[in-house]
Amino acid sequence: MGTPHIRGAARVALTGLASLSLVTGAMLAAAAPQAVAAPVAHPTQVSSTVTDPYSPAFGHPYRHGAMPTIQQNAKMKSWAASQATPNVATGTETLSYGGGVDGIGVQSGHSKVYLVFYGNQWGSQSTDSNGNAKFSGDADGAAGAAQQMFKGIGTNNELWSADLTQWCDGPNVATGATSCPSNANFVPYQAGGVLSGVWYDNAAASPATASGHQLGQEAVNAAAHFGNTTAAANRDAYYVILSPHGTNPDSYQGQYCAWHDYNGDSTLTGGAVTSPYGDVAFSNQPYNMDSGAGCGVGFVNSPGTLDGWTMTLGHEWHEMMSDQNPAGGWTNNTGSSFNGQENSDECAWLSPGTAGGAANISFGSFGTYSEQASWSNDTNACAISHPIVGGGGQGNTVTVNNPGSQSGTVGTAVSLQVSASDSASGQTLTYSATGLPTGLSISSSGLISGTPSAAGTFSTTVKATDTTGASGSTSFSWTVSGSGGGGSAIVNGGFETGSLSSWTATGQASASAAAAHSGSYGAMVGSANPSTTSSVSQTFTAPAGSSKVSFSYDVTCNDTVTYDWATATLKDNTTGTTATVLAKTCTLGAGWKTASGTLTAGHSYTLTLTNKDDNYPGDPTYTYYDDVTTS
Residue 278, pLDDT score: 96
Say if CB 89 and CB 177 are below 8 A apart: no
Strand pairing report for 112-118 and 195-201: parallel
**C-alpha of 596 from chain center:** 33
Burial group, residue 126, by CB count within 10 angstroms (0-12, 13-18, 19+): exposed
- How far the first Cα of the chain sits from its last, in Å, is 38
| Cα distance between residue 436 and residue 560, in whole Å | 37
Residue 84, pLDDT score: 79
Confidence of residue 49 (pLDDT cuts 50, 70, 90): low
Q: Nearest CA to 329 among 393, 410, 260? A: 260
- Phi, psi angle pair for 565, to nearest 5°: -170, 165
Return the domain boundaries, the chain.
29-84+93-383, 398-481, 504-630
Contacts of 472 (CB under 8 A, 6+ apart): 397, 398, 399, 400, 420, 463, 464
Reply yes or no on whether the pLDDT at 408 is more than 90.
Answer: no
Task: Give the DSSP H/E element, type plus range, for residue 18.
Answer: helix 8-31
Quick: pLDDT tens for 116-142.
999 999 999 999 999 999 999 999 999
CA atoms within 13 A on the CB side of 386: 27
User: How many percent of the chain have pLDDT more than 90?
Assistant: 64
Specify the higher pLDDT residue, 396 or 582.
582
Q: Angle formed by the axes of helices 307-322 and 142-152, to 10°?
A: 40
Reply yes or no on whether the pLDDT at 170 is more than 50.
Answer: yes
DSSP string, 306-375: THHHHHHHHHHHHHHHH-SSTTSSEEE-SSSTTTT--TTGGGTTPPTTSTT--EEEE-GGG-EEEE--EE
Confidence of residue 469 (pLDDT cuts 50, 70, 90): low
Alpha-carbon separation of residue 554 from 15, 397, 608 (angstroms):
31, 41, 16
| Cα distance between residue 330 and residue 175, in whole Å | 10
| Cα distance between residue 54 and residue 254, in whole Å | 12
Residue 396, pLDDT score: 57
User: Which DSSP category does 618 fall into?
Assistant: T
Burial group, residue 217, by CB count within 10 angstroms (0-12, 13-18, 19+): buried
| Cα distance between residue 164 and residue 321, in whole Å | 7
Superfamily of domain 504-630: Galactose-binding domain-like (2.60.120.260)
Reply yes or no on whether the pLDDT at 42 is more than 80.
Answer: no
356 CB neighbour count, 10 Å cutoff: 20
Quick: pLDDT tens for 172-195.
999 999 999 988 899 998 988 999
Confidence of residue 448 (pLDDT cuts 50, 70, 90): very high
CATH number belonging to the domain at 398-481, selected among 3.90.1150.10, 2.60.40.10, 1.10.3720.10, 1.10.1760.20: 2.60.40.10
Among 84-93, 121-130, 476-485, 582-591, which is the least confidently predicted range?
476-485
Contacts of 18 (CB under 8 A, 6+ apart): none
Radius of gyration (C-alpha) of the chain in whole angstroms = 26
Confidence of residue 472 (pLDDT cuts 50, 70, 90): confident
CA dihedral (244, 248, 253, 259) in degrees, to 10, reads -80
Burial annotation 523-551 (CB, 10 A radius, 16+ → b, else e): bbbbbbbbbeebbbbbebbbbeebeebbb
Reply yes or no on whether the pLDDT at 485 is more than 90.
Answer: no
